Amino acid sequence: MRITTLLIALLCTCGLARLDAQEAVNEDINTIIRKHGLEQSQAMEIAGWMTDVYGPRLTGSPMLDKATDWAQKTLNEWGMKNVHLEEWGPFGTGWEMSHFEMHASSPSYWPLIAYPKAWSPSVKGTGSVIYMAAETVEDLAQYKGKLKGKFVLLDTIREVKEIWEPNAKRHDAESLLDMANAPMPTPRPRRNYNLGARGFRTALWELMEEEKPLAILDRSYKGDHGTVFVSSARTAEGRSRDKDKKVVPQVTVAVEHYNRILRNLQRGIDVKLSIDMKAEYTNPDEMEHNIIAEIPGTDLKDEVVMFGAHFDSWHTATGATDNGAGSTVMMEAARILLETIKESGVQPRRTLRLALWTGEEQGLLGSRGYAKDHFAVFPPDSYTPQSLKPEQEKISAYYNLDNGTGKVRGIYLQGNEAVAPIFRAWLQPFKDLDASTVSLGNTGGTDHLTFDAVGIPGFQFIQEPMAYFARTHHSNMDNFDHLSGEDLSQAATIIASFVFHTAMRDEMLPRKESKIDGK
């Protein structure tokens, strides 16, 4: 056993050294990629249609269907092959807001900056506001029979801070060095949920569903100055998009407006609000779709290099940085590759496959649906694969982008040490574009995890933070104006080069040691 281990270690070391010395970089191709990506970028043109015209793109919504049609049409016009949709699901019902207006009507009129949480039902009415100070199941009893026709506040006042520090930032040497020096990642401990608190929350929401208040209001948990972060409505049990759901209307209010309402209640003033919300439940078949498009390979065409991003968004803006940015960059990378192939006459050896996922915001559902169809058998209600399908062996790599509009500063290896020298070699020509850092670390929260989970090398690039978490991620300000064309063009250029080089090398990318059955 020990000898075997030693042999493997030796083999690995030799392999790494070989790669380090020999990993090919095609400078001619990179020159053409740079021309189309940097000098003739179409990134902002693509992003404009995807956001201003076809945003937001909430999974299940009619607008996502329109955006999907536009994306397919665009990819076909460019000359992508095998452009098609692949179904996944069931997702639950779709939802789209068709009207929303809310204001204070007593003691005086003022309009609210507020947004319904997704899957909130239609409601229209005027009512008093009540603040529920309940902290235990016992506290709830006093509110029984008192909530119908009312607006219910659950949150306390959140103090607003002025912007004493910049909201937006780019990486500096220090933050990049931290990533460059990241150790081999270890599995994260599972979160230890507070079951007591969960019991209270369930009881609270059961009360809400019995009492049927006009709406439940919370305040944006960050943002301020008119920026509001909003995602999905909740229920006592199950998901708000499930059929037979009982969803109480839920609205997130700008913190300054929420605080004003609550302070006036604390002053003993009867505050009345009015709401007029219309929402349609759509998509009765509950099935959703990913968009797939290819550039066929040649001698290794059965092997595939995948690159993609999630196409869906939340609903209060146009999904520009989350994840119009990533989808734009990946569509633009495809366009750059098509142009580069045309200009150079060099065909990719492996097939290049673009994927625009949906359902990411509800739990990487689109990419997981794809993994289920193509890569692995999963037990019910689990995304830990039971066994692998043959197609899993044919995917060399999957590249993903989903951290906003910021340009690429490097790449996370997701614990795959063997690809380090390869990626270092491929990043070397982009040193002038500030993309050099290779981090052994993991990054989470998006669709490369789906690939990593089934043993396919899946990567997310290191991106400039910009104002992503401070301002745009899941907020009403996630719109085109917060995109940076220069950053998107840089990302598309580097990713096109990564995809091309992955397609051309003799071997597929090395994989991490797998613990999955059947591999």
For a copy of itself, the binding residues (CB under 8 A) are 48-49, 52-53, 63, 97-101, 103, 107-109, 111, 113, 115, 159-160, 162-169, 224-228, 254-257, 259-260, 263-264, 267, 269, 318, 466-467, 470-471, 476-477, 479-482
Q: How far is the CB of 403 from a copy of itself (least distance, A)?
A: 15
Q: Which residue number, 123 or 477, has a Cβ lying nearer to a copy of itself? A: 477
Which residue bears the tokens 């909130």?
Answer: 120
Alpha carbon distance 435, 147 (integer Å): 55
263 phi/psi in degrees, rounded to 5: -60, -40
Select from 50, 218, 193 the least CA-distant residue to 129. Answer: 218
Q: Which residue number, 314 or 412, has a Cβ lying nearer to a copy of itself? A: 314
Residues in the chain, total: 519
Q: Which residue number, 199 or 226, has a Cβ lying nearer to a copy of itself? A: 226
Helices (H), 321-447: 325-344, 365-374, 420-427
Burial of 5 (0-12, 13-18, 19+ CB in 10 A): exposed
Q: Which residue number, 20 or 481, has a Cβ lying nearer to a copy of itself? A: 481
Select from 118, 96, 483 the least CA-distant residue to 320. Answer: 483
Q: How far is the CB of 378 from a copy of itself (least distance, A)?
A: 36
Q: How far is the CB of 125 from a copy of itself (least distance, A)?
A: 16
Q: How far is the CB of 258 from a copy of itself (least distance, A)?
A: 10
Which residue bears the tokens 């597929």?
Answer: 508
Bridge partners (DSSP) listed for residue 438: 411
> In Å, how far are 102, 151, 234, 264 from 272, measured between CA atoms?
11, 8, 24, 11
Select from 472, 460, 358 the least CA-distant residue to 401. Answer: 460
Q: In what order do the strands lie in the sheet with 110-111?
A: 110-111, 94-106, 272-282, 123-131, 151-153, 215-219, 250-253, 114-116
DSSP-assigned states of every residue in 436-499: -EEE-----SSTHHHHHHTTS-EEEEEE--BTIIIIITTBTT-SGGG--HHHHHHHHHHHHHHH
Q: How far is the CB of 330 from a copy of itself (least distance, A)?
A: 22
Q: Which residue number, 227 or 327, has a Cβ lying nearer to a copy of itself? A: 227
Q: How far is the CB of 251 from a copy of itself (least distance, A)?
A: 12
Quote the crossing angle between the two packed helices 325-344 and 485-504, to the nearest 10°. Answer: 50
Q: Which residue number, 367 or 479, has a Cβ lying nearer to a copy of itself? A: 479
User: Contact 333/496 with Cβ under 8 angstroms?
Assistant: yes
Q: How far is the CB of 498 from a copy of itself (least distance, A)?
A: 27
Q: Which residue number, 415 or 485, has a Cβ lying nearer to a copy of itself? A: 485
Q: Which residue number, 405 or 414, has a Cβ lying nearer to a copy of itself? A: 405
Alpha carbon distance 481, 227 (integer Å): 14
Select from 376, 375, 393, 394 the least CA-distant residue to 385. Answer: 376
Q: How far is the CB of 102 from a copy of itself (least distance, A)?
A: 9
Q: How far is the CB of 339 from a copy of itself (least distance, A)?
A: 23
Local structure of residue 508 (DSSP, 8 states): P
Alpha carbon distance 461, 240 (integer Å): 32
Q: How far is the CB of 372 from a copy of itself (least distance, A)?
A: 32
Q: Which residue number, 318 or 437, has a Cβ lying nearer to a copy of itself? A: 318
Q: Which residue number, 336 or 470, has a Cβ lying nearer to a copy of itself? A: 470
